[in-house]
Structure 1
Amino acid sequence: MEDQPSSSSSSASSRTADLDAPLHAMGFEIDELSAHRVTGRLPITRKCCQGFEVLHGGVSAMIAEGLASLGAHLACGFQRIAGIQLSTNHVKPAQLGDLVYAEATPVSIGKTIQVWEVQLWKTDPSKPKDKILVSSSRMTLMGNIPVPEYAKGNILRVKKHAKL
């Protein structure tokens, strides 16, 4: 797992660093970014584990909030968004050494309120096509908030990496 990253991994890492510094610090890499789907992956290292060497629940919640927020920002035309509720169910543990995948998709995109579903899963090495659900989150966000002048650079960073 400590091999040199591939060029796509390097580009995903720099994309994540540009878009979400806390996710990047955990080792998360954003793969796809659009108004209808945000995906990525996280190798489970000690940096994101709690004391029993399993993925920390707060990291799962941070992934959910980060991906849903990016998708919602795109879906509301690059207006500022604010999370107003996050609910996460932890179903199975992801252990040290696992690779977790994440996908955020909109449940409802209204003019002001959006709801996004975020799922994290891992695969069984003996059955790589089978998804094992790690956590499922639902995030409610408020959108159409004007972007303050100091934060307008964020719009350019998101547009640079998004599939529009």
Structure 2
Amino acid sequence: MTVDITTSTPDEVLAAVREMEALNPRSLNARMGIEVIEASAERLVATMPVEGNTQPYGLLHGGASVVLAESLGSIGSALHAGPDKVVVGVDINATHHRAARAGLVTGVATPLSVGRTLSVWEIVISDEEGKRVCTSRITCLVRERPPGA
């Protein structure tokens, strides 16, 4: 991935996301049906189906919401960090506001602070009616890429 997120078009940034996804086609994101549909320096947007990501009562699993949030925050952090860095999540929290029972949920991630060592993102997950399902915040540590990685 060699895109400069601050000067690239949204289509170029989305292409860089596709490059990241291609590194592991059997990733958790793929298994959960997470699809990044928009990517820029200002925000990332992804959808995830409720079906297949539910708890025993048929509601969207809270952990699935956290996976969507962590995925968006980590991708955004990696894009901002650039190709010579790696990012790892060091903190995430989530407040679950209401249940989703069917359809798609949409996560919108916006950077709160993007620095050389820490990257903090807020992720709002909504149902198809636009009702907020979950609010999450993730902090990622930005590190130098180890040699050979």
Give the structure-1-normalised TM-score: 0.72
- Determine helix, strand or coil for the equivalent of 1:136: strand
Name stretches of at least 5 consecutive residues in structure 2 with no aligned partner: 1-17
1:25 equivalent in structure 2: 31
> What amino acid does structure 2 have at the position aligned with 1:23?
N
Cα displacement (A) at 1:19 = 6.1
- Give the alignment's Cα RMSD to 1 decimal: 2.0
Structure 1 segments unaligned to the other structure (5+ residues): 1-14, 125-130, 151-164
* Aligned equivalent of 2:97: 91
Cα deviation code 1:100-130 (max 9, x no counterpart):
1111110001111111001100133xxxxxx
> 2:120 pairs with 97, 101, 115, which one?
115
Indicate if the aligned counterparts of 2:88 and 2:140 stay in contact, CA closer than 8 A: yes
Shift of 1:27: 1.3
In structure 2, C-alpha distance between the alignment counterparts of 1:22 and 1:40, rounded to whole Å:
14
Alpha-carbon separation, structure 1, partners of 2:140 and 2:99: 27
Task: Tell me which moved more, 32-41 or 114-123.
Answer: 32-41
2:42 is matched with 36
**Corresponding pairs, count:** 129
The structure having more radius of gyration, on CA atoms, is 1
The corresponding residue for 2:58 is 53
Q: Quick one: structure 1 residues 55 and 80, their matched pair in 2 at CA, closer, same or farther if it must change by over 3 Å? A: same
- Flag the structure with higher helix content: 1
Runs (4+) off by over 4 Å: none
Q: 1:17 & 1:75 partners in 2: Cα distance?
A: 16
Structure 2 length normalisation: TM-score? 0.78
Report sequence identity in percent. Answer: 33
Q: Which amino acid aligns with 1:77?
A: G
